[in-house]
């Protein structure tokens, strides 16, 4: 079958939360690491991962499963982002954990109240009426949360029709009866799932923001422990979670956390799944759409859109390997690079994306990736831009001594010692500390080409070896360091 390589839907939406749910489900790839997060018996779970790794898509997947496959009473599923909760009530500008924890409990219950109101069929006269005060929250302990909230709603309706709720055309009394019936019958059995995405949006690592995010963890843990009928899922960037490790709030939640990562085979399956989903949408009668699957036909599916092999150094490699390395292994970045290369191939009138189409996209792609790098890690090191730019025009690969010399000569020598900001929350010490930070950010990886095998990857990232560039007895394990390909073009790396 012929594929329109410049079709924007071919490789999916960059943002999982913006993709149509049925389309996202058509190419979603499960993996064992998702099992606990997607298990409704686990009432609290948090997904962590870097930008573009698939946290939002995982939340959409969970919501879809709860709406379509839940056993028993139909659950209430409430997706939310912090900005929506702020609209209900401004958070207190304090790093007092008790006040912030109470804020989170109030706005979570407020969001549930709003959804209950929409579900039942009445509207609040004022958003503030959705708030649950701290005294009432204390009375929820040991109760079913939905029953407690519904009881509170019943109390707001009086027989004279002078109510705190603006009724729909039905009489207020019918609302009271409906609420009472829900409280005694269906309502108590209906589970509620509160899904919070991007809790760390615009995170800057200030004491207030650290306390703000960390207190959510405590509030969530207390809500699911002290009440029944509610489950919580959330997503947090890995770098933000790491910066919270000094707080007590996250220690007890660590056991409820999944770090999202993608192996080479899983990324291959995801790329194949996107192409198969496109085929099923656009040519459902084709043999590809009817009989192919991602387990048995992954290579053939990828070859519908890409040349089978691409030039890679002095040899060739499968397209998915090239894309994975150039895009740093993040699904969003891979999709973006594929989309940009697809436009180039369509402009050339080609039926397959070749290496030169990918290479043509690397300039703009690198600019976007560098912007992402700054936005993702600026809060960990305030002088991130200057530190990264010190590698501009240099080689792509360094021995450890050369790497440290590059940082010393091109950054530290041009920066007053007292002007170097803290590094990931710790006072600046030396160039090795900065090198380790860049390794942690994924700016460069260990190059293990001399020892690479099926069991040992060619490129080693921080997630695989977090101990490197730390212990002076084994700084590099015999490896050199290679800058991520995504940044090379924009930084004029040789």
pLDDT digits (tens, 9 = 90+) for 3-13: 999 999 999 98
Residue 15 lies in a domain: no
Instruction: Give 314-362 pLDDT, tens digit per residue.
Output: 889 999 999 998 998 899 999 999 999 999 999 999 999 999 999 999 9
Q: 1-5, 176-180, 396-400 — which is least confidently predicted?
A: 176-180
- Residue 147 is part of which domain span? 32-259
**For the residues 283-300, what does the mean pLDDT come to?**
95
Q: Are strands 397-398 and 444-447 parallel, antiparallel or unpaired?
A: unpaired
DSSP secondary structure of 404-452: HHHHHHHTGGGS-GGGSPPBTTB----HHHHHHHHHHHTSEEEE-GGG-
Residue with tokens 């027989």: 159
Instruction: Give 150-170 pLDDT, tens digit per residue.
Output: 666 655 554 443 344 443 333
**Tokens at residue 242, please?**
């790491």
Residue 169 lies in a domain: yes
Say whether both 305 and 400 belong to one domain. no
Say whether both 124 and 230 belong to one domain. yes
Say whether both 213 and 72 belong to one domain. yes
Residue 14 lies in a domain: no
Contact 391, 483 (CB under 8 A): yes
Helices 97-120 and 172-184: crossing angle, nearest 10°?
110
pLDDT of residue 51: 87
pLDDT at residue 422 greater than cutoff 80: yes
Number of domains in the chain: 3
DSSP secondary structure of 388-407: HHTTTTS-SEE-HHHHHHHH
**For the residues 374-394, what does the mean pLDDT come to?**
93
**Tokens at residue 37, please?**
């997060």
Residue 361 lies in a domain: yes
Say whether both 187 and 317 belong to one domain. no
* Residue finishing a domain among 365, 398, 417: 365
Say whether both 244 and 328 belong to one domain. no
Q: Which residue has the higher pLDDT, 318 or 239?
A: 318
Helices 331-347 and 319-326: crossing angle, nearest 10°?
120
Say whether both 419 and 460 belong to one domain. yes
Gap between the Cα atoms of 244 and 364, Å rounded: 33
* Residue finishing a domain among 197, 232, 259: 259
Per-residue pLDDT band for 431 (boundaries 50, 70, 90) equals very high
Say whether both 349 and 399 belong to one domain. no
* Residue finishing a domain among 218, 234, 259: 259
Gap between the Cα atoms of 249 and 240, Å rounded: 14
Gap between the Cα atoms of 27 and 465, Å rounded: 31
Say whether both 315 and 428 belong to one domain. no
Say whether both 346 and 430 belong to one domain. no
Residue 68 lies in a domain: yes
Q: Which residue has the higher pLDDT, 399 or 250?
A: 399
Contact 327, 333 (CB under 8 A): yes
Instruction: Give 117-132 pLDDT, tens digit per residue.
Output: 677 665 544 444 444 5
Say whether both 284 and 254 belong to one domain. no
Instruction: Give 293-320 pLDDT, tens digit per residue.
Output: 999 999 999 999 999 999 988 889 999 9
Residue with tokens 């009440």: 227
Say whether both 332 and 456 belong to one domain. no
3-state secondary structure of 248: helix
pLDDT of residue 242: 78
Say whether both 51 and 138 belong to one domain. yes
Residue 27 lies in a domain: no
Average pLDDT, the chain: 84
Q: Are strands 230-237 and 44-49 parallel, antiparallel or unpaired?
A: parallel
């Amino acid at each position: 079958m012929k594929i329109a390589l410049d079709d924007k839907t071919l490789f999916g939406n960059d943002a999982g939360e913006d993709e149509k749910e049925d389309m996202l489900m058509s190419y979603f790839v499960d993996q064992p690491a998702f099992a606990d997060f997607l298990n409704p018996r686990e009432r609290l779970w948090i997904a962590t991962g870097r930008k573009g790794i698939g946290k939002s898509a995982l939340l959409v997947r969970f919501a879809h499963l709860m709406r379509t496959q839940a056993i028993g009473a139909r659950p209430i599923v409430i997706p939310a982002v912090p900005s929506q909760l702020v609209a209900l009530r401004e958070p207190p500008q304090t790093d007092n954990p008790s006040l912030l924890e109470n804020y989170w409990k109030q706005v979570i219950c407020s969001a549930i109240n709003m959804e209950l109101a929409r579900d039942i069929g009445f509207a609040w006269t004022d958003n503030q009426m959705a708030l649950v005060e701290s005294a009432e929250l204390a009375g929820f302990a040991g109760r079913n949360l939905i029953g407690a909230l519904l009881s509170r709603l019943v109390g707001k309706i009086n027989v004279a029709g002078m109510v705190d709720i603006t009724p729909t055309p039905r009489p207020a009394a019918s609302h009271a009866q409906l609420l009472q019936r829900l409280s005694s019958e269906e309502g108590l059995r209906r589970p509620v799932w509160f899904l919070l995405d991007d809790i760390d949006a615009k995170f800057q690592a200030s004491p207030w923001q650290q306390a703000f995010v960390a207190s959510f963890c405590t509030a969530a843990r207390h809500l699911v422990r002290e009440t029944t009928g509610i489950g919580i899922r959330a997503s947090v960037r890995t770098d933000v979670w790491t910066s919270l490790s000094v707080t007590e709030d996250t220690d007890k939640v660590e056991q409820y956390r999944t770090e999202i990562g993608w192996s080479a085979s899983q990324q291959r399956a995801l790329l194949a799944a996107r192409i198969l989903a496109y085929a099923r949408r656009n040519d459902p009668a084709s043999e590809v759409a009817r009989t192919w699957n991602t387990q048995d036909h992954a290579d053939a599916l990828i070859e519908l859109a890409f040349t089978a092999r691409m030039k890679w150094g002095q040899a060739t490699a499968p397209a998915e390997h090239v894309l994975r390395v150039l895009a740093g292994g993040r699904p969003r970045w891979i999709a973006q690079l594929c989309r940009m290369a697809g436009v180039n191939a369509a402009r050339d009138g080609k039926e397959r994306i070749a290496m030169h189409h990918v290479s043509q996209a690397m300039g703009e792609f690198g600019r976007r990736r560098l912007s992402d790098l700054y936005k993702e890690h600026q809060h960990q090191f305030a002088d991130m831009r200057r530190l990264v730019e010190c590698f501009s025009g240099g080689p792509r690969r360094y021995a450890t001594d050369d790497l440290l010399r590059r940082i010393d000569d091109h950054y530290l020598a041009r920066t007053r010692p007292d002007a170097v900001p803290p590094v990931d929350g710790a006072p600046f010490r030396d160039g090795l500390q900065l090198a380790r930070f860049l390794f942690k950010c994924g700016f460069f990886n260990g190059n293990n080409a001399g020892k690479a095998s099926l069991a040992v990857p060619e490129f080693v990232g921080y997630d695989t070896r977090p101990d490197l560039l730390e212990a002076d007895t084994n700084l590099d394990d015999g490896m050199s360091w290679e800058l991520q390909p995504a940044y090379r073009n924009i930084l004029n790396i040789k």
